[in-house]
Chains A and B, each alone.
Chain A
C-alpha cells in the first residue's frame, strides 16, 4: 500500500478518535458543572483543558458558553471538534478510492452536519444533544468501516490511528485526574466525590463496564486497574496496546520487508509494562511517572511507524 495512503488512513482515524474524545470529555465536564461540589466551573474547565493536552487558546476566560462554542466550532483552532472532523474528511478525500463508499458517505454526512446552520439551533437547545450526535456520527463511521472494508493493511492503519490516540488520551486523562483520585482513598466518600469518580469513568465511556466488573463500588485503585490493565474493555490502555501490537504484527505479516526491530521492541516493551505488573505495584510506585512513560512510549511507537512505513529515507529503502 502507498505510504501516503497509509498516512491518510492513519490520520483520518486519529482525528476522528480525537474528536470523539473531546466531545465526550466536554459533555461530561459540562454535566459535572451542574453539581457545584468543591470544584468551581473554572477548575473543572482547566482540568478538561489539561486532559486534552493543554491546547493553546482554550484558557478559561470566564464565559463558559463562548469557551464551549470555541471548543466545538472554531475550525481555526486545532483543539476543536470541527477542526478534527475537517482534518479527517480532508484525509479521506485524498484516498477516496481506498475506503468504501459507505465510509465516505458517513464521514461526508458528519462533515456536512457540523457545518450546517441546523447544528447552531441544536446547540442553543441542547449542547448534550449536539455532542451526542457528533459521537453517534463517529461511531457509525467506525462501524461501517469495520463491516465494509477489507481488513487488510489499510484497515490496520486505521486501527493504529484510533488506538494510539486513545491510549495516549486515556493516559493523559488519568495523569490529570491522579491528584483528585489520591484524595479519596477511603471508600466512605461524599456524594460529590462519588460524582467526580463517575465523571472520570464516563470520560472513557466506562462507567457501565466498570460496574459489570467491580459493581458500583467506586474505588480509585480499582478504577485505575480497570482503565489501565483490563484486557477486554476497548477504552482500557492495555486493550489499546494489545490491539496496536496485533495490528503491527499483521502489517508485518502481510508486508515483504523484515520486521523493524525498534518498532517490535517498542511495542513489546509497552505491552510488557502492562502485562507483567499489578495495580498494587503501580500505586505503591510512582503512578504519575508510570503514566508518563506510557505516553512517551506511544509517541515513540508513532515515530517508529512513521520512520518505517511512511517517511523512510530513500537510501535506507534502496539498501534493502
Chain B
C-alpha cells in the first residue's frame, strides 16, 4: 500500500487508505509530502506511551482552561470539551499566499455586493443576479436600505469555510458573514500545541496567530463613530446559555473589553448606554454575537429579550457602530453563494482566485429536475441554515430521508440548493496510537477594518468519525491546530 517508507515510519499507520481523496500528508504513491517529513519523523521517534502522556496533558490543559461548548437540547451538564486532534495540519507558504489573496478578493467583492444591494442595487438592475433571489432571501433586511454604514464596512469579521478537492485545489464551501465562531478554539489549540510539541513547533517556523484579539480590537476601533477618539467597545453576547458563550468570555477577556448582554444596554435619544456601577456609560462600538433577529425587539423579532430596544435607531443615527452590520446574512445565503464568482467579475473585473463548489439552484426548473433524480449522489442544504443543520448527504441517506427532502424541496424550492458530494481532503489524525486519515476543512478568520487582514492559519475542523463528512462541532466534529509555514 505505501511502498518506499522506512520501516519505523510504516509502523505509524493504522487503517490508512490512500484513494481518490487528497491526502494532506502523503502522495498517492504513499510517499510523504516534503513538508510533512519532519512531523512524521518526530512521531516515529516518539514511544507510544510518550504520545499518550502528551495527549493526556493536552486534555488536562483544555479541561482546566474550561474550553467547552454547550450542546442544545439537554438539561444539565450541557458543557462539553471541544474535541480536538493532536497533530497539526500543515499549510505551505505558497498555498497560504494563494488562499490569502483569494479570500481578500472574495471578501472585498462580498462587501461591495452588500453595499450595492442596500443602496443603488446596480448589480440587480444589470441582471447579474436575479432580483427575486435577493429579495426572497430571509436574511435580507429591508431596514438596511439607504443606511450609511461606518467606513462602508458591512462584514468586519468573517470566517469562510474552505475545502481541498482531490486535485489539490482549495475551493470555498461557504462564507460565514453573520456571527462566525470558533476563533477561540484556533487560539487555544495553538497554545496547547506549543506546549505539546515545543521542538517540532520551533523547527517548523510556524507563522504566529496569537495577535488575533489585538487585531480584532484594532478593527473594531477603526470602525468607531466619528468624533469618538477613545471609543468604548463592548462584545454583545446572548448570554450564558449560548453555545459559544465560552468564546465570548474568552475574546472579551483577551481584548480587555466588557462583555455585555442586552439587558445591560439602554438607549436614550438614539445613544446606546450600558448600565455600570458608575451610572450610564456611552457605548460606541458593539461587536455583536447576537443574530439580527434577536438584536432589537422594536425592529426585528418583537419577542426577543436578548437584544436592546432602540439599538437599530441609534445605529441608523450613526451614534453607535454595530458589527457585523445587520442583513449581512443575505450574502452568505447558500443560493446567493452560487453568484459570488459573478460578483467578483462584476465589481472587481477579476477572475476569482478561489473557485466555488458547483451549486444547483433548486428554484431553476431544469436544475431541480436533475437534483431530484440524483438525490442519492448529491448534498442538499437549506439556504439559510448553518452549523450542519438542515442538510441531506445523499450517499449516506436512507430512501425515507430522501423522500422527505424531495417533498420539502417541491414545497419550497427557493429554500434549498444542492452540491455534488465532495471528496474533500483528509489529514492524518491520532486514532488510538496510530495515524488514520480523516476529512478536514479549513476556516480562516478574516478581519476587515481599514483593510483586509487574515491571521495565517485558522481553524481546521475534522470529521473525527471514520468516513464522516460532517465537521461541525455540534455534530461530532473536532478541530486541529493549523500551522502555516514560513
**A positions within 8 Å CB-CB of B:** 1-4, 6, 93-94, 96-97, 101, 104-105, 153, 157, 251, 255-257, 309-310, 312, 314, 317-318, 320
- Assess whether A94 is in contact with B240, with CB atoms less than 8 Å apart: yes
B residues near A105, Cβ cutoff 8 Å: 64, 66
Whether a CB of chain A sits under 8 angstroms from the CB of B343 is no
In this assembly, does B324 line the interface, its C-beta being within 8 Å of a C-beta of chain A?
Answer: no
On whether A318 and B253 interact (CB within 8 A), knowing A4-B264, A94-B239, the answer reads no
Residue in B66, B253, B263, B278 whose Cβ sees the most chain A Cβ within 10 Å: B278
Most buried by B among A4, A97, A104, A309: A97
Q: How far is the CB of A86 from chain B (nearest CB, A)?
A: 10
Contact among B66, B240, B260, B278 with A257 in the assembled complex (CB-CB below 8 Å)? B278
The one of B249, B250, B274 that contacts A2, using a Cβ cutoff of 8 Å:
B274
Chain B's closest residue to A309 (CB) is: B277
A-B contacts, 21 of them at CB < 8 A, read A1-B278, A2-B258, A2-B264, A3-B264, A4-B261, A4-B275, A6-B277, A93-B240, A94-B240, A97-B253, A101-B64, A105-B64, A153-B277, A251-B277, A257-B279, A312-B279, A314-B280, A317-B273, A317-B275, A317-B279, A318-B268
The smallest beta-carbon distance between B71 and chain A, in angstroms, is 16
B276 in contact with A1 (CB, 8 Å):
yes
A96 to B273, CA, bound (A): 22
Residue positions of B touching A, CB distance < 8 A: 64-66, 239-240, 249-250, 252-253, 258-261, 263-264, 266, 268, 273-280
Provide the bound-state CA to CA distance between A317 and B280, in Å: 6
Please indicate the chain A residues that have their CB under 8 angstroms from the CB of B239 in the complex: 94
Q: In the complex, A275 Cα to B22 Cα: how many Å?
A: 80
With A314-B280, A317-B280: A101-B266 Cβ-Cβ less than 8 Å: no
Please indicate which of the listed interface residues B65, B274, B279 has the most CB atoms of chain A within 10 Å of its own CB: B279
State the Cβ distance, B70 to closest chain A Cβ, in Å. Answer: 11
State the Cβ distance, B187 to closest chain A Cβ, in Å.
15
Task: Decide if B277 touches A97 in the complex (CB within 8 Å).
Answer: no
**Which residues of the other chain, A, contact B268 by a CB distance below 8 angstroms?**
314, 318
How far is A104 from B279 in the complex, measured between Cα atoms in Å?
28
Minimum distance in angstroms from B264 CB to a CB of chain A: 5
In the complex, chain B residues whose CB is within 8 Å of the CB of A96: 66, 249
**Contact residues in A for B276 (Cβ distance below 8 Å):** 1-3
Chain A residues with CB under 8 Å of B259's CB are 97
Complex Cα spacing A269 to B240, Å: 40
Question: What's the nearest-Cβ distance from chain A to residue B68, in Å?
Answer: 11
Q: Distance (Å) between the CB of A152 and the closest chain B CB? A: 11
B263 proximity list for chain A (CB < 8 A): 4
Q: A94-B239, A317-B273 are in contact. List 10 more A-B contacts (CB 8 A).
A: A1-B277, A2-B260, A2-B264, A2-B277, A93-B240, A96-B66, A101-B64, A255-B278, A257-B278, A309-B277
B339 to A: closest C-beta gap in Å: 40
Choose one: B66, B277, B280; the contact of A318 (CB below 8 Å): B280
Taken together as a complex, chains A and B put the C-alpha atoms of A105 and B63 apart, in Å, by 10
B252: A residues at CB distance < 8 A: 97
Taken together as a complex, chains A and B put the C-alpha atoms of A6 and B260 apart, in Å, by 13
Given A1, A255, A314, which contacts B266 in the complex, CB threshold below 8 Å? A314
The interface residues of chain A lying within 8 Å CB-to-CB of B279 are: 256-257, 312, 317, 320
A127 to B58, CA, bound (A): 38
- A310–B278 Cα gap in the complex (Å)? 9
Q: Which residues of B contact A1 (CB under 8 A)?
A: 276-278
Instruction: Give the docked Cα–Cα distance between A309 and B279 (Å).
Output: 7
User: Which residues from A are CB-within-8-Å of B64?
Assistant: 101, 105
Check if B277 sits within 8 Å of A101, measured CB to CB: no
Chain B residue nearest in CB terms to A93: B240
Residues of B with C-beta under 8 A to A93: 240
The minimal Cβ–Cβ distance linking B256 to chain A, given in whole angstroms, is 10
A251 to B66, CA, bound (A): 31
Given the complex of chains A and B, what is the CA–CA distance between A97 and B239 in angstroms?
A: 12
A310 in contact with B277 (CB, 8 Å) = yes
Tell me which of A94, A104, A105, A251 has the highest count of chain B C-beta atoms within 10 A of its own C-beta. Answer: A94
* Nearest CB of A to B227, in Å: 20
What CA separation (Å) do A96 and B237 show in the bound complex?
Answer: 13
Per CB-CB distance, the 9 closest pairs between chain A and chain B, nearest first, are A97-B249, A309-B277, A3-B275, A97-B253, A317-B280, A255-B278, A317-B279, A96-B249, A6-B277
What is the bound-complex CA distance between A4 and B275, given in angstroms?
A: 8
Residue in chain A with minimal CB distance to B253: A97
Find chain A residues with CB under 8 A from B261 CB.
4
* A251, B263: Cα distance in complex, Å: 23
Write out the residue numbers on chain A whose beta carbons fall within 8 Å of the beta carbon of B278: 1, 255-257
Q: Nearest Cβ in chain A — how far from B373, in angstroms?
A: 51
Least Cβ–Cβ distance between A186 and chain B, in angstroms: 52
Contacts of B260 in A (CB 8 A): 2
Chain B nearest Cβ from A181, distance in angstroms: 40
Q: Which residues of B contact A256 (CB under 8 A)?
A: 278-279
In the complex formed, the residue of B with least CB distance to A90 is B240
Give the distance to chain A from B13, nearest Cβ to Cβ, in Å.
39
Q: A314-B266, A317-B280 are in contact. Are A104 and B66 (CB under 8 A)?
A: yes
A117 CB → nearest B CB, Å: 14
What separation, in Å, do the CA atoms of A302 and B113 have in the docked complex? 54
Nearest CB in chain A to that of B267: its residue: A314
Residues of A within 8 A of B66 (CB): 96, 101, 104-105
The smallest C-beta distance from B104 to any residue of chain A, in angstroms, reads 32
In the complex, the chain B residue whose C-beta lies closest to that of A316 is: B279
Nearest B residue (CB) for A153:
B277
Instruction: Tell me which residues across on chain A come within 8 A of B258, comparing CB atoms.
Output: 2
